[in-house]
Structure 1
């Protein structure tokens, strides 16, 4: 049986070439009965100041993992925002998505010691504001696609959530989301070209649509001309060590109601086994380390559009200057607001339901504040 999600989302053609992301013809409006989910970490700036970057990213990625697993692995439109995530589901999947969100909020509180807001907003309420949510599918490789969003509706939904509207209450203590496949086994990814630059660009209030599109396309063109189009993940993949720095987070994500000591032993043993396979290139049971790493690099989610352009770039000093010059000029013209954040490394959070399939996803953020710090810089422009 074809569900509402697959009927709509599978019907959107995947486009290749990120320089096409501003083409409005690629975007399709959500069906009238769909629901938008939004989640973010309360006081993420404070958590980042306390150097809890990985915990914040793990929380944001957990939303996507929990909803994906609740939907039995079916594809649905989502976007990772660093300290949160947004997505859309059909009414057929509303109860499952709501349960996954509620359980994730509880897990984030009790296992990560963070507070997560979550909300589910009907698209009809968004359209009542004169806004919309339109979806496109960008393929960074032939293996996977990521949703891109336009129409202004996601921002309104997030603002409504922060006002306390459409809230999903956390589940009762002892309720666990299914976070199978969520991990963070790779080490930080140092810059090879100068610095890791977090980029966030959104339209200024009242900006001309065509002028904003032109700025975004200029920024993308500058990046496309840079080495590897700014991709922060090296061709050989990120470094691995054992035990991985993110071992504790993987244990918390997967243990559920299991005995902590027994599950810790199991995960520790499993990660050692995987490390040996990866370190020595040993293939087993359909898993080929070299192929997996190649797919990991190709599938990495380091640039996206959700009414704002978001990128994590391995950036040369020349590219950084060129980007900032273009953004300063556009901001002075009243076309954009933007935030940039500089750091020395990126980090990766992985969602791999099956290591022998090619559609594993890898969320990239800056390792010293990333998207959240870029958002803080953007907000400062409005003050």
Structure 2
């Protein structure tokens, strides 16, 4: 896919760049051959180690579980996605792999951009605290430090459609980096009060997406000591879920409905944007139309200039990031209560066998956070999470499962005192 040099693009885990003289190591992620079946996340030959002169950046909303318990899941998701929007805008000419985790995000980039990345992280953390009242922890870690722990960061590209690719991570290094962040290592301090960050393209303008099949299931599955049994488990779980079937997609085929009222979150995002985020513009445009035609629900297929609403909604469905692998499997799917029960039983048995730690969470709706640099290009990305806890509650349940199921070993492992396995996929 080619990029318009006049505007930045974000491709579900990567920011596209076009420069006349790119350094070879800058093109590492771009050069990876994408795969189009999610089952291939378990194939070792799909992954490549990051270059030695790259860095890992990890972020996390502190006390996100408590914030979500108070109904602030949209703010938490927005703070997590804001990091990727801000770095995309700060480095519009860099292509790099990243992943969204609900209450945070992680990405990798050449160390040559470390100063810009640290400045952008500091600015985003300041925005999150000053505008949203959330503490966003950020850290930057050299790949060399991860490999010194006998771990690695391996990256692959998954292409769910012709529009975008998403980064997949393996090797244990990303999980270690996230634990280092939570223990206070490699911290990037927030910027001073009044410092702003460019969040152009970020929006949270869609209403919660209700389940059509019974429950929105968020799940996280991470490895223990035996990498072989873990990857066999992932294969079994994907077969059980039939993850390549669109019936498990959390979005309806027609796309989600817009949220029709402005709120403090929309205003907070706009304070950091050079221009109004497209999703907000579309919502306002549709509201104006609805006042004339009487109802917006029956008004589909409109177009303004090069923008085609029907095409955009189709791309939105295809581009939604509802399954990923980042040193463990994460999924947000719409399924029956019966299937959710089968998944829980499968994972409980696997945890008893010592193959994994896991956490799941059920809710009645999903939340969508968007990054749309351009309404006329197909590579806009949409991050999905459960609307009533999602990945944050699944992670909390994972910790409880480990503590109650395997005693002190699980507590110590999750606290970071035991190294994660250097597993291969």
Tell me the TM-score normalized by structure 2. Answer: 0.84
- How far residue 73 of structure 1 moved from its aligned partner, in angstroms, is 5.5
1:268–1:224 Cα change, 3 Å: closer
Q: Aligned pair 1:232/2:244, yes or no? A: no
Determine the structure 2 residue equivalent to 1:14: 34
Distance in 1 separating the partners of 2:123 and 2:259? 31
1:373–1:257 Cα change, 3 Å: closer
Q: Aligned pair 1:135/2:188, yes or no? A: no
Q: Aligned pair 1:353/2:365, yes or no? A: no
Residue ranges of structure 1 left out of the alignment (5+ in a row): none
Determine the structure 2 residue equivalent to 1:304: 324
- How far residue 222 of structure 1 moved from its aligned partner, in angstroms, is 1.4
Distance in 2 separating the partners of 1:45 and 1:168? 22
Tell me the TM-score normalized by structure 1. Answer: 0.93
Alignment check: 8 A CA contact 1:178 1:254 kept: no
Q: Helix, strand or coil for the counterpart of 1:348? A: strand
Q: Aligned pair 1:344/2:364, yes or no? A: yes
1:79–1:291 Cα change, 3 Å: same
- How far residue 147 of structure 1 moved from its aligned partner, in angstroms, is 0.4
1:290–1:329 Cα change, 3 Å: same
Q: Helix, strand or coil for the counterpart of 2:307? A: coil
Q: CA RMSD in A?
A: 2.1
Determine the structure 2 residue equivalent to 1:198: 218
Q: Aligned pair 1:273/2:285, yes or no? A: yes
1:113 to 99, 121, 133: 133
2:312 to 289, 292, 306: 292
Q: Aligned pair 1:37/2:49, yes or no? A: no
Distance in 1 separating the partners of 2:266 and 2:166? 24
Distance in 1 separating the partners of 2:246 and 2:282? 33
Greater alpha carbon shift after TM alignment, 249-258 vs 13-22: 249-258
Q: How many residues align?
A: 374
Distance in 1 separating the partners of 2:355 and 2:362? 23
Q: Helix, strand or coil for the counterpart of 1:147? A: strand
Distance in 2 separating the partners of 1:123 and 1:330? 31
1:269–1:155 Cα change, 3 Å: closer
Q: Aligned pair 1:56/2:76, yes or no? A: yes
1:214–1:229 Cα change, 3 Å: farther
